[in-house]
Amino acid sequence: MITKTKFKAGAVQFDIKNGDVRGNLSVALGHLGHLADQGACLGVCPEFFLTGFDNENMGRLMPAVKESLQSLTEFARTRSMAVAGTLPEQRGGQIFNTLYFIDRDGEIRARYRKLHLFPLTGEDLHYARGDEMVTADTSLGRVGIMICYDLRFPELARRLFLDGARLFVLSAQWPLARVAHWQALIRARAIENQAWFVCSNRAGTDPDGLVFPGTSMIVDPNGSVLVMGDDKPGIIMADIDMDLIDLVRQTIPVGQDRRGDVYG
């Protein structure tokens, strides 16, 4: 597998309609298509971007989700663009919040089941917790995967860094009330781990009136925000230079200087 070191990456943000899998798929593919038209090699979608948190009905939505996953893999293959985003995954009578990383050849390189379920919205009452961290070797380099609330746990990002992650993808439904945390934590995780972050967040309002601000972000290994979305549906895109990671890590060698002998 040939790994690209310079490429365009983007994130999609839109208002997700609870339970409308095919409608959400159509919107997502439209935005992803715009990214592909502009030469993007990666498009990241929000958390549960096909279903929303339609918690009570996830079981009956699974056939449509599986069908839509096939459409996404076909899109990735035909447009030669990696696609990432979270979908409900049913296994052994449980449903997980799972981020799929579909590479540019249409192959699913990673499935990451969300470790940290957000208690304020009752996510932990409806979904099963994952039990492993995930990095994946892809055509765009070694990718570390996180979902929404995971962003508040620096231990996870650091373990992914130690496992060789150079590009992090993150899907979220992060609310407006805590948008300042979203912006600060993404920059902090990028600075700490000297890696690229491509982060997608929902834009819109859910049926309970919870407002989501968009503000999808692409942040470089120095913590600089290259592009950030507004609160409207649409796409963001930036040029990624993976060689910048090596320069930053050589200049301030936190990987070399960390005291794992003291704090693990």
Q: Which residues are catalytic?
A: 47, 114, 148
Helix (H) or strand (E) holding 90: strand 82-91
If you search the block for the tokens 């963001």, which residue do you land on?
236
Q: Is residue 206 helix, strand or coil?
A: coil
What one-character DSSP code corresponds to residue 120?
G
Provide CB contacts within 8 A for 52, sequence distance 6+.
Answer: 16, 17, 18, 19, 24, 206
Q: How far apart are CA 170 and CA 151, in angstroms?
A: 8
Q: Report whether 135 contacts 112 (CB < 8 A).
A: no
Helix (H) or strand (E) holding 213: strand 211-213
Instruction: Look up residue 154 and give its amino acid.
Output: P
Start-to-end Cα distance in the chain: 33
Q: Is residue 64 helix, strand or coil?
A: helix
